[in-house]
Amino acid sequence: MKTGKVYLVGAGPGDPGLITIKAITALKEADCVIYDFLANARLLEHAKKGAERIYAGKKGRAKTIAQEEINVLIIKKAKEGKTVVRLKGGDPFIFGRGGEEAEEIVKALIPFEVIPGVSSAIAAPAYAGIPLTHRDMASSVTFITGQEDPAKETSNIAWDSLPKGTLVFLMGWKNLPAIAAKLQENGWDAGTPVALIRWGTMTKQRSVAGRLDNIVALSAESGMKPPMIIVVGEVVKLRDKLNWFESKPLFGKRVLITRASEQAGAFARLLEAQGAEPIGFPVIKTVPPASWSALDRAIKRLATYDWAIFTSANGVRYFFERLYKLGKDVRALYGVGLCAIGPKTAGALKERGLNVDLTPPEYKAEAIIEALGKRRIKGFRFLLARAEAARDVLPVEIKRHGGTIDVASAYRTVAPKKEAEGLKAELSAGNIAVVTFTSSSTVTNFMSIFKKGEAARLLKGVAIACIGPITAKTAQEAGFKVDIMPKEYTVEGLIEAMTGYYRRK
């Protein structure tokens, strides 16, 4: 059997946007990914379908797999002829034991490459507003392990000759008292600035600043835990002025996303850009309708319609999947006016090379009627491709104005079977700041996981954000007080309204 190849890949410090292009390419080619606790799990989305994923993380004292076993595993998978990506947090060669793994790979005569990653040693301080070097404050930076090999009899750290620039200790939470004491014993002033940064570069980042003589007490008071790095030096003083990341409008806010998984990704990225920590809990899932018969009949006679109305991007997606399934393409819509309820729906049509003839100023069914009224409804024939269970405002009003309309189910929404106890525990602990609803069905399905009166109790103090007035009405009918609603009924508008809400607070 042909021997495979190993890539020792730095996953970066936690923010998935900091992984390199070369690392993503390796992930896409890998047959097997062996990943660490500190490697963001979202990076696994880059792995190809069918790739084997093996968790080999070590979280503090809880070692899932010993280092020796990891070495054996890497070699075993490569000898099976697989392309192996060993995905390691930060950079594999900076206190990542990548050198040890590389030595074993070389002994086994397996070809390998190292793909460097952004180290938390430089990224975490940067995200905390601390430049490690500065012309007026520090001309050098020294990286030091915070936990030496416990089997060593003497320390390899030259405490008495560390340069008086910036010091960065990695994995030093447990030894913080000893580190602070050793530095002071070896000539560092007790008032030297120190910063502790936990989960650097991630939306759950936390940082604490103090001095060598009080940092241990501050760490205990603030509940700092690993993973954490320690920065020592005058540059820490710049944090108050340069703290760009933790100053984002939604920083540290844990936001629950209830929309379908396939739509949650873009929403989550927008939230992260504003500093929020998105928590995915899809209470809605889109699936094909119970029967395609109504939509199939409509597609076969598309030329008879004056207008085709789409009220969601999902409706567009399922409509065109069915159109192609029946052997037709966009030419079947020649001469048919296209109406989209909002910019996202319009964008879904434009992605398929179609110009939208009508998008109402307000993204709701009533606004479509008002906009169509100016172009006449009486005597015209309409197709409405929508969710299986939806409001009947459009069909009723079009008929009332003398139009003819066929309503065809393009998809339906269902509540996925997902364990809700974890969410209830998070809400009970006060760990969720905002719950977002992007459709009436997300409200209905969300409520279905609670017992009577349970939601009101668990959501006390939690902000409720609704994408528009129809969703807000459903939420209010369910007993919620809606705190946030945008002027523009899009996820971008919703996030803008959320940032405004917290700025006012």
83, two tokens: 């392309």
Residue of 5, 15, 31, 36 marked catalytic: 36
Residue of 22, 171, 213, 447 marked catalytic: 171
Q: What is the DSSP string of 307-323?
A: EEEE-SHHHHHHHHHHH
36 is catalytic: yes
**Residue 8's beta-bridge partner residues?**
86, 114
58 is catalytic: yes
* Eight-class DSSP state of 417: -
Q: Is 187 exposed, middle or buried (0-12, 13-18, 19+ CB in 10 A)?
A: exposed
7, two tokens: 């890539």
**169: helix, coil or strand?**
strand
CB 207 within 8 A of CB 239: yes
202 is catalytic: no
Residue of 58, 350, 399, 424 marked catalytic: 58
Which of 122, 67, 77, 123 minimizes the C-alpha distance to 99? 67
Distance CA 440, CA 467 (A): 10
Which of 489, 268, 192, 199 minimizes the C-alpha distance to 179? 192
β pairing state of 307-310 and 381-387: parallel
End-to-end CA distance of the chain: 64
Which of 414, 185, 435, 393 minimizes the C-alpha distance to 314? 414
Show which residues are catalytic: 36, 58, 171
